[in-house]
Structure 1
């Protein structure tokens, strides 16, 4: 495949090629409270997977998340997860952007942590990370604060006002962080460049997949040519995808697109599709199980402007689904030696040409190429390793809290 690129782990951060060993003293049962905003998308999947893994290894786990997002799918997912949540689920209204109501949320997180005697507060995403690190847990209990960024505030354009504000906030919050658990080398590098390391314990813990996700797909009888699965937001590059689709159809290709998901820009995207004369070429459907959806499209397209380490790319790659994606964030980490096949973001002509190349590729060659990518992802993105790496990070943070403990030495291991 064209191009070979493997990003190096930033200095001072550790990635693991093998599942780390955990000493018996480090493996003692913990009371872990995961704090995040929206129970939707890849971040939510990450928390659900961790909760199951941690409960299965004897830890007691709970969740604090937003009460206003996710709809019935979130209610059902949390209900299905309930047997793994010995510390329960607490849902409170949370705003996406900074708001005076954040003070009430901080008090609620602190009260819940005290009520369940949590000894790990693990914040996910910018809002969950702020709550987990700022919540003042009463009683003088020793609680470690773990933080997993999921892109978000790290994706603003460097030098912009919002980037400076959010990176300044991350610098202040870093002082209340015991362990950083970055999901991608990309975000770890952004943190090191714009926030600094602050001598805290840090790990790169890639999102992981289960073995079942590598099972072959059975294609639908009449599949769409193109498939998009995810949030319906302009930042996901969807206007560029619509322009690329229009260009493909101008060439005389009767290409159809299935868009699966929901989001704040759904109405705007439907209006843009009509303005481009694409209303009959696109079907919009609500969020649903990704495995069944993958079988309904010939090519998955991920046209994002920014990402961390998107599950939708991992899941499509695992299933050997033909895939066209942009060269942003942690996506090159997923593609590995095939990263040269990625497309520049915000370029409808480049996206149209990349889609056309995959459409025109000989079926046997296309299948072999994406089977190779699937095999590579299987070797590098294990769910069990993800769970063990997170627990290893907690353990290192607890060790660093012990009297006389020295700072963890900087070390980098090839993933």
Structure 2
């Protein structure tokens, strides 16, 4: 089983479940790639995505390494990286990284360059806004590795239309020139890149996040379950004040509903204060990050009130496990729901959110569970982890094939880590 990292949760899939995927047909088929994944914070869905890719790529015969932040993730990240160590032929290096632009970024760029030099990396895959900067701007003398980039939302979702968002998109437009292949995790983010950053994309593909077959086992619901559950970060973009106000509205209508909040984040204190202000503090239980599947079994309905998302793993995992959900129509969530996206609610709308929650709780159990099972079956057909791994490797192969001969890199031999 793969446990969610959406709230900094440690993965727990056995190594034996890692799929084996061959490099797609290309001039380099069957040869060993040396892949460095570069990202900032080892938390959230981005971290889970990297962990899954590392296992897939290592099982497929490639040599893989990681460069990430030394200051975030805590014990959970340390445990996850320790468990991953047998798959990291190129090792794991953690460097202090800042979330926002900072003078120390130069030392990180030099650190990434040193890892490229010592490992002989042929693929430098940046994840998230900061990882994308380091992977694409890293100066490498001589033959340069392929520069791949997966945005994971990040700067694309930061207050579109604001002055800072325009700055971020100008940077993305410039960095696109140094990108051999974009591996967008959703059509939503790819569209945002075209709309706000523009410029030339040398090579771009949609590679949806994927989940393992074991995650499709229904979790069921325990006795004395909470009415509602939320799993994820406690921060502004997740729309949690709207969930609290919807809960308050429903309780004032005579519904004594309870809510389990699992996660952590910068807005924990302000959310607790809001719960007190609304008079619903006694209806809410706050718990720290933990594996998602047991949490799903502790609630009747999961609520995702997000204001912005890319392609959230927590939604994929809950849908796969046949968890009834109420979610907002933002980001890549409609791509996950597909034919069922008509059930999504608009963001920032307390009335719509509370109405949807009441409707799903009032439904006959067989109707609610039947719809959840149908969505799970749809997810199984469209969001396979095997497909995700194969599509990423295919993207690398296409970038290698498209690279001008004067920028070619050798992809055989033994890494020098």
Find the counterpart in structure 2 of residue 398 from structure 1: 400
Q: Spell out the pairing of 1:6-405 with structure 2 (5 A cutoff).
A: 21-23=24-26, 25-138=28-141, 140-196=142-198, 198-403=200-405
Deviations 1:110-152 (A, max 9, x none): 11111111111100000000000001123x1230100000111
| Deviation for aligned residue 1:210 | 0.5
Looking at structure 2, the residues matched to 82 and 300 of structure 1 have their Cα atoms a distance apart, in angstroms, of 34
| Deviation for aligned residue 1:203 | 0.6
| Deviation for aligned residue 1:24 | 6.5
| Deviation for aligned residue 1:216 | 1.4
| Deviation for aligned residue 1:292 | 1.1
Find the counterpart in structure 1 of residue 16 from structure 2: none
Looking at structure 2, the residues matched to 127 and 155 of structure 1 have their Cα atoms a distance apart, in angstroms, of 14
| Deviation for aligned residue 1:22 | 2.4
After TM superposition, the structure 1 stretch with the greater mean CA deviation from structure 2, 175-184 or 270-279, is 270-279
Q: Secondary structure at the match of 2:178?
A: coil
After TM superposition, the structure 1 stretch with the greater mean CA deviation from structure 2, 165-174 or 110-119, is 110-119
After TM superposition, the structure 1 stretch with the greater mean CA deviation from structure 2, 105-114 or 307-316, is 105-114
Deviations 1:50-81 (A, max 9, x none): 00000000000011111111111101111111
Looking at structure 1, the residues matched to 278 and 30 of structure 2 have their Cα atoms a distance apart, in angstroms, of 57
| Deviation for aligned residue 1:199 | 4.2
- Normalised to the residue count of structure 2, the TM-score between the two structures is 0.90
Unaligned runs of 5+ in 2: 1-21, 408-417
- Normalised to the residue count of structure 1, the TM-score between the two structures is 0.91
Looking at structure 2, the residues matched to 359 and 397 of structure 1 have their Cα atoms a distance apart, in angstroms, of 49
After TM superposition, the runs of 4+ consecutive aligned structure 1 residues lying more than 6 A away are none
Looking at structure 2, the residues matched to 20 and 89 of structure 1 have their Cα atoms a distance apart, in angstroms, of 23
Q: For the Cα contact (< 8 Å) 1:27–1:395, is it kept in 2? A: no
Q: Secondary structure at the match of 2:35?
A: strand
Higher relative contact order (CA 8 A, sep 6+): 1
| Deviation for aligned residue 1:20 | 9.3
Find the counterpart in structure 2 of residue 14 from structure 1: none
Q: For the Cα contact (< 8 Å) 2:26–2:398, is it kept in 1? A: no
Q: For the Cα contact (< 8 Å) 1:20–1:389, is it kept in 2? A: no
Looking at structure 2, the residues matched to 104 and 23 of structure 1 have their Cα atoms a distance apart, in angstroms, of 36
Q: Secondary structure at the match of 2:405?
A: coil
Looking at structure 2, the residues matched to 158 and 266 of structure 1 have their Cα atoms a distance apart, in angstroms, of 25
Q: Secondary structure at the match of 1:175?
A: helix
Unaligned runs of 5+ in 1: 1-18, 406-415
